[in-house]
Amino acid sequence: MATSLLASLFFTFWALLISPAISLTCSSQKFTKNQVYSNCLDLPSLASYLHFTYDPSNTTLSVAFISTPSKTGGWISWAINPNATGMAGSQALVAYKNSTTGVAVVHTFDISSYSSIVPKDLSFEVPDKTAETRSDGSLAIFATIKIPANLAAKGTINQVWQVGPGVGEGGMLERHDFAAANLRSKGTLDLKNGQSSTNSGGDTTVKKKNIHGILNTVSWGILFPLGAMIARYIRSFESADPAWFYLHVFCQTSAYAIGVAGWGTGLKLGSESSGITYSGHRYIGIALFVLATVQIFALFLRPKKDHKLRFYWNIYHHSFGYAILVLGIINVFKGFNILKPEHKWKSAYMIVIISMGGISLLLEAITWIVVLKRKSRKSTKPYDGYNNAQSNQQPLAM
């Protein structure tokens, strides 16, 4: 029964990851005025989408950019950078809801540098531009752009997109986040072939952060809690002895190995990110490494079941185990807040943890029922998961 519950948990996990990729695509999006574009792209970050049509005869580009502000009342932006790949120097279209009328508006920003972000005409013509609020809370920018001759001759442009939290007085944009998703929101748009490619040169750190997050989520956030569940609940079933013990050891040692790898990538990222420190996340990570290391090595110092020190070893083992369990889950959520991946990843992990909690409650009730039934038989030695219930043996504590 426990096995089937755990299996259903992980099927739910993967279904949640796959379903957004199927449903949230640009090809399923419709417009209120039934605009039609030749191409549409699911941009690789910030849950953003670009629809566009390019007419080479007059070098005009018609675009519809869709994204969701990072906070209610925030802004979205799509830009062309004529000379570089980043935001500095880009010619941007920015949309947000007017605080007075509640109507979506779009303005142009010539971002000559990060210190100068003010509304200004662009270096190329924008004959038409509008914005609208969509039913799902996202914003859409519609624009017709006259592509400069030098860019039209190349057939590609550097595009940059972004989302921000709010708009101050005079239309001043509040600074956007500098999380991984925000930093990789740029790429090259092929006007002729209708394709987009990202700039991989600046993505090395992002990939390392993603690897760090995946390793630690799987180890501290999933495998360690799963191993604890096996030790507490599966051992109650006589038929599971001694398989439960080997499953428990396998889960915890695997989690430790993966967790150490994740911890190592975190140290590497820290050494390469001078001046950027996430103290809470860092200290909890160090504590987890120390606690888990002591747990693993103490496995080789475990007293025999009938040894007088076994009672104290059990207290230590359980205390450290539950500490790792709690700190691991806390640090996974701290990592999500730092990395700021697409919302589906955090939602998927929350589904996993909530499901594991629900399964634990169910197994807790089943365990008590099994124990009470066993006692009701007036057995001279109740089964405790560590011996084979032979009548000539005494019950032993874990």
Candidates 101, 104, 170; CA nearest to 133 is 104
Question: Which token pair is 207?
Answer: 């990939």
Name which CATH class applies to 26-199. mainly beta
**What is the per-residue pLDDT across 95-143, written as a single tens digit (0 to 9) for each?**
999 888 889 999 999 887 666 677 888 888 999 999 999 988 899 999 9
Residue-level pLDDT at 298: 79
- 318: annotated binding-site residue? no
Residue 248 in marked binding region: yes
The number of beta carbons lying within 10 Å of the beta carbon of residue 381 is 13
Instruction: Give the pLDDT of residue 130.
Output: 94
Backbone angles phi, psi at 108, to 5 degrees: -100, 140
Taking the domains of the chain in order of start, what are their residue ranges? Answer: 26-199, 204-371
C-alpha distances in Å from residue 302, one per residue of 194, 230, 326: 64, 19, 23
Query: pLDDT digit string (tens) for 308-336?
Result: 888 888 898 889 999 999 999 999 999 98
Percent of the chain exceeding pLDDT 70 equals: 84
- Long-range contacts, stretch 17-23, CB < 8 angstroms, 24+ apart: 17/344, 17/345, 17/348, 20/342, 20/344
Fold of 204-371: Four Helix Bundle (Hemerythrin (Met), subunit A) (1.20.120)
Residues of the chain with pLDDT under 70: 1-24, 113-116, 196-206, 273-276, 378-398
Which has the closest alpha carbon to 73: 2, 135, 119, 133? 133
Q: Is 307 part of any known ligand binding site?
A: no
The span from the CA of 204 to the CA of 99, in Å, is 39
Residue position matching structure tokens 């017709």: 144
51 marked ligand binding residue: no
- Residue 374, SS3? helix
Confidence at residue 74, expressed as pLDDT on a 0 to 100 scale = 93
